[in-house]
Amino acid sequence: MSKIYFTPDHEWIKIEGGVATVGITDYAQEQLGDLVFVELPETGATLSKGDTAVVVESVKAASDVYAPADGEITAVNDTLSSDPSLVNSAPAGDGWLWKMTLTDESQLEGLMDEAAYQASLG
């Protein structure tokens, strides 16, 4: 069974079978506008919670995407190199950014569920 958490910085993290998949929320992609470039991290890189993992560039601005927890990157969504608009069209699906193994799952306890995230948007 998978569980999805949300950060105050508009990232989502889905935990499924010990693998964490990370992306940005629909709200975040709406605020950014049409993405034109996604700078993905290296597979095997180690991240600490709060580190900049990805830079997304839209027609409006460049924005950092932060690691929601400590871990090691196991995969990146290479499709985004040629089609960054997938993040706009399917931010919670085919537009995922990276997958990682977590080194401290207890860090997820401070994150929001979907209802709390939606409420935080005001």
pTM of the model: 0.96
Domain CATH number, residue 21: 2.40.50.100
Structure tokens at 86: 């997938």
104 found inside a domain: yes
115 found inside a domain: no
16 found inside a domain: yes
Number of domains in the chain: 1
118 found inside a domain: no
| 54 exposure class (CB count in 10 Å sphere: 0-12, 13-18, 19+) | buried
pLDDT digits (tens, 9 = 90+) for 60-117: 889 999 999 999 999 999 999 999 999 999 999 999 999 999 999 999 999 999 999 9
Q: What residue numbers bound the domain in which 77 lies?
A: 3-109
31 found inside a domain: yes
15 found inside a domain: yes
